[in-house]
Amino acid sequence: MTARLVILVTSPRTAPGLLTRDAWLAVGDADAVWGVVEEPQSQALFEAGVVVEPHDRSDPAGLARDLVSATATATADIVWVGSSDGDPGLSEAIAVEVTRLPEPPEVELLVGSFDVPGSRLLDVVAVMDRLRSPGGCPWDAEQTAQSLVPYLLEETHEAIEAIESGDHDHLREELGDLLLQVAFQSRVAQEHESEPFGIDEVAGGLVEKLVRRHPHVFAGVEAADAAAVEVNWDSIKAQEKPHRTQPLDGVPPSLPALARAQKVVSRLEKAGRVDLLDALASSEGVGGELLRVVRQARSAGFDAEGELRRLLRRLEQAASDSPA
């Protein structure tokens, strides 16, 4: 059988050594396995008992020439363990070398591992770390949790606008900007002197919360419909936050007034304090009228804040379409 040159490529986002069956067979049957010793994938193979011959890749043309020559005289395949950066220039150099031979060896690109869903989040963390570290971006380096608050607020509103516009390309971009704020805040928190935490702690806490608050999915608890799910959620949340003794504890004061009113109405209705709402809604003035409208919207299943935003967009569009 004619020997082949096998270029083993793997995802840098997948743990070294987690290879497909075909990749392990190729490595095990090879006449020789070449690679860069310092690369994590080469180290993982070495720890698994595979002899990885060290080769310098600083000269892609020279490396390509050596790989093709070795394959031409080998009795079994030669495997090159691809580096985490994809070995810039090597594929092109191999193509040049192969075209020079009257009977060139077969070259196979073997994918040994693939990205799993969500793996690009690792790139977000790595890029954020690079920006924040010495030698990175001076502006990013001087930000604090407090200085980033206006950007978090702005990106949240822009994401809402993208959702309501129905523009999916815009939404994808804005969700990325919102994700940046989560990654940025987590990276800043990682540097806290006494109480540091990073993105792993943020994600881990979220996973634990989701599992804990969905016992009908993860713990065999019965929940016939969405209303039952909501009841379970509120009950579990109350157990998690025993310090919240008043129905309005935890309502963010920074919410826009209309959205905050919706939250307050919801909390007081669930707490059985409709008497407070009735007393305020019956008062004279614009405030009382607005509160009555919020309660009517909630009773009819509408988001008062969202409905007003939609109406304002229509008004803005009409104003822009009308001659001055």
CATH number at residue 173: 1.10.287.1080
Q: pLDDT tens digits for 295-321? A: 888 888 888 888 888 888 888 888 888
Average pLDDT over residues 68-81: 94
With b meaning 16 or more CB within 10 Å and e meaning fewer, what string describes 1-11? Answer: eebbbbbbbbb
CB atoms within 10 A of CB 214: 16
| Helices 199-212 & 168-189 angle (0-180, nearest 10) | 110
pLDDT at 319: 84
CATH no. for residue 95?
Answer: 3.40.1010.10
pLDDT tier at 224, thresholds 50, 70, 90:
confident
pLDDT at 324: 61
Higher-pLDDT residue of 229 and 24 is 24
pLDDT at 53: 96
Same domain, 106 and 134: no
Q: Is residue 45 part of a domain?
A: yes
Is it the case that residue 183 has pLDDT exceeding 80?
A: yes
pLDDT tier at 1, thresholds 50, 70, 90:
low
Q: Is residue 16 part of a domain?
A: yes
From 212, 246, 271, give the residue that closes a domain. 212
Query: Do 39 and 81 contact (CB within 8 A), yes or no?
Result: yes
Same domain, 22 and 84: yes
Q: Is residue 250 part of a domain?
A: no
Q: Tell me the β-bridge partners of 106.
A: 4
β-sheet with 106-111: strand ranges across: 52-54, 32-35, 78-81, 4-9, 106-111
Place of tokens 């804990």: 212
pLDDT at 287: 85
Domain that holds residue 72: 4-111
pLDDT at 284: 67
Domain count, the chain: 3
Nearest alpha carbon to residue 33 among 44, 14, 11 = 44
Average pLDDT, the chain: 90
pLDDT tier at 323, thresholds 50, 70, 90:
low
C-alpha distance from residue 302 to each of 5, 26, 163, 164, 213 (Å): 64, 60, 17, 14, 25
pLDDT at 278: 82
3-state secondary structure of 240: helix
pLDDT at 56: 92
Q: Is residue 242 part of a domain?
A: no
Average pLDDT over residues 54-65: 95
Nearest alpha carbon to residue 67 among 89, 35, 37, 45 = 35
Same domain, 207 and 268: no
